[in-house]
Structure 1
Amino acid sequence: MLDDTPRIAVLGAMASELTALRKGLTDTAEHTAPGAAFTTGRLDGKAVVLVCCGVSMVNAAMAAQRTLDLFDVTHVVVSGCAGGVDPELKVGDVFVASQWGQYLDVVMGREGPSGFEPASGMQSGYGNFGMMFPKPVTVTGPDGETERRFWFPAAPALLTAARKLAVTVVLSKGSGAAQLDKTPRLVAGGNGVSGAAFVNNTELRDYVFETFAAGVLDCESAAVAHVAWCNGKPFVAVRGLSSLAGAGDGDKLYTAFNQLASDNAALVTMGLLRSL
């Protein structure tokens, strides 16, 4: 192990997602290992390890498992930005899902007389988006038992803490060109989905909302939730909305509000760390 102090692991896909957390970090030390780099320290007295994992499901899963292998991790937290799916959510809001699914782990069906059909014996349980039929994954849990699972849960205690924090936390509206009209809010509970795609497509966004009742989508959280569940570690993902996936000028919104969304997520993450 690189460090034997019990720590809370906080993963961000990009350096910008960890900027606000790094500002409050004390007693810092840098660690490197093949395929990963880590910063240990303390946030508000809590021992943490910050990991910039890189965008993508594979990067996120690899970094999460490397962190668990090399540190004494007590909790796993993802903090950063995401695309909004639920029409009730706005740019700048922070969403803490109660569970995460891998919506782009799919069977590619072939077109038959009545439309696209999945392969024989590979029913997905969810409606398809064209040829794509989402399916659960086969996983081995911490008890060694194998099962098929679509949803990976957030830790109940962390979700409860997020609901309490939603009453008191004051999120930033930003400033200058990146200033919002209304003060953002924290929403705790509901579904999040992740997949290896940056979504700037209204039809796919509508499908994800209707099929999975998802609040947000991203490229990492479900992968980290999967790893945390298999290792028996409490998990939560805190996602600030930098854009509304596929709605209007989603890519332009992302550019303008990525840092604000990440900083608001970091504010909520700090609140959750204090609750532990």
Structure 2
Amino acid sequence: MRVVVPRRMWAVHWEVMLVGLMVLVQVERCMQLRATHPMHGVVDSINENGGPYIGLVMAYPTEELALQSSAFFVPSSQIPGLTLLEEGSTLGQWDDRWCRCYLCDDWRANGITVQILLDTFEIKAIVHYGTSGSANDSLNLGDVSIPNYVAFTGSWKWKEFKSAEGILTELKFGAFNLPEKGENLLATIEFTPQQLYSVEKPMEEIFWLPIEPKLFNISTKLQDIQLQQCVNETYCLPEAPKVVYGLRGSTADIYLDNAAYREFLFKEFNVSTVDEESAAIVMTSLSNGVPCIVFRGVSDLAGGDEKLSSTSLSSLAAVNALSVAVDFIGLFGEEAVINDQ
């Protein structure tokens, strides 16, 4: 599957691009680049000869393959690979100006790895794309969501039976008793906000992490982008996928495959997509004062019926999310050129 890149994309100043290519490694392998690291000279050279860059961040092999198989993936002729971490954390360049690194398999470790990316290279903005499950029935398979808020919904605490309601929405287990609703000794769980430490600002507790408004506004110009509809020559989606704006995304360190919980997230939090990375990436970006935007392609209905879950659409969702991200980068580059004039 190849992504067709409009000619106008290549008119953008690609020297401002950096791609952080993320795949899974063990948490204990995550480490910040030391000042004594033997690759420091190479990294300095990359920063001096280009930058500031845009970090393109992804998390799974399917999302990596979408980039590697695309028409705009060109390994560097000068530095095709740069190993920084023990598990082969590779850095390269896009069109002789791009880089990549590895992500860990824990949401907080994901944030650590993005922090390494920000500490190692001169990053102007983070563009994160990937696949997601849908919690919103109005989102179809293959659609690409551009959320304006994401939250980490995997952090919560047990509450005593029949205790008073908390500040945030609670999940009452009794509401899901079968065959009928009723009291449940499991009681409830209360979702908790995260502590955000950002540049030159006091610590604040925050639940909904905002997407950078300037980047989000630029992305609204992508409404007419044509997305891939067919998985192969024999199977196509019934409707052409579309780009959807202004929804909310949820991140947790679980793969959500439960219809009741999916419906709860949509009803109580107005969550439309679920994933395992977005909140960590956005929070790390906010902490460093680096703008960030998220593109999530819908690959499944989280906890969907057997018919939907039996058909793998991850590749198509990854390609569509990448297509939107690439067109966004083109618009972002054009905007930067106009602002610099």
State how far apart, in whole Å, the 1-side matches of 2:264 and 2:234 are: 31
Residue 139 of structure 1 pairs with residue 196 of structure 2: yes
Q: Which residue is equivalent to 2:141?
A: 91
Q: Which moved more, 1:52-61 or 1:222-231?
A: 52-61
Matches within 5 A, 1:196-235: 196-235=253-292
CA drift of 1:54 comes to 4.5
- More contact order relative to length (CA 8 Å, sep ≥ 6): 1
Query: RMSD in angstroms over aligned alpha carbons?
Result: 2.1
Give 1:27 deviation, angstroms.
5.1
The farther-off stretch of 99-108 and 218-227 is: 99-108
- 2:244 counterpart of 1:187: yes
How many correspondences in the alignment?
A: 264
The 1:185–1:54 alpha-carbon spacing in structure 2 relative to 1, beyond 3 Å, is farther
CA contact (8 A) 2:66 2:315 kept: no
Summarize the Cα distance change of 1:55–1:95 in structure 2 as closer, same or farther, 3 Å threshold: farther
CA distance, structure 2, for counterparts of residue 63 and residue 6 of structure 1:
19
Instruction: Provide structure 2 residue ranges, at least 5 long, that are not aligned to the other structure.
Output: 1-39, 174-187, 333-341
Structure 2 residue aligned with 1:37? 89
Identity %: 21
> Tell me, what secondary structure is at the counterpart of 1:40?
coil
- Separation in structure 2 between the aligned mates of residue 56 and residue 178 of structure 1, nearest angstrom: 34
Q: 1:173 aligns with which of 205, 215, 229?
A: 229
Task: Quote the Cα distance in structure 2 between the aligned partners of 1:86 and 1:157.
Answer: 26
Following superposition, the deviation at residue 226 of structure 1 comes to 0.6
Larger Rg over CA atoms: 2
User: Counterpart of 1:239 in 2: which secondary structure?
Assistant: strand
Structure 1 runs (4+) deviating above 4 angstroms are: none
Counterpart in 2 of 1:14? 60
Unaligned residue ranges in structure 1 (runs of 5+) = none
Distance 1:218 1:187, change over 3 A: same
Matched, 1:257 2:309: no
Report the Cα distance in structure 1 between the residues aligned to 2:236 and 2:322, rounded to whole angstroms: 18
In the TM superposition, residue 251 of structure 1 has moved relative to its aligned partner by 3.9
1:156 deviates by 1.4
Contact kept, 8 Å, 1:61 with 1:224, in 2: the verdict is yes
Shift of 1:199: 0.7
Corresponding letter in the other structure for 1:190: L
1:25 and 2:83 equivalent? no
So what's the TM-score if we normalise by structure 1?
0.88
- In the aligned structure 2, how far is the partner of 1:171 from the partner of 1:78? 18
TM-score of the two chains, using structure 2 as the length reference: 0.72
Q: Which stretch of the first structure deviates more once superposed, 155-164 or 19-28?
A: 19-28
Post-superposition shift, 1:129?
4.6
Structure 1 position 94, deviation (Å)? 0.4
Shift of 1:179: 2.2
C-alpha offsets along residues 142-171 of structure 1, whole Å, 9 cap, x if unaligned? 1141110111111212212221101x2000
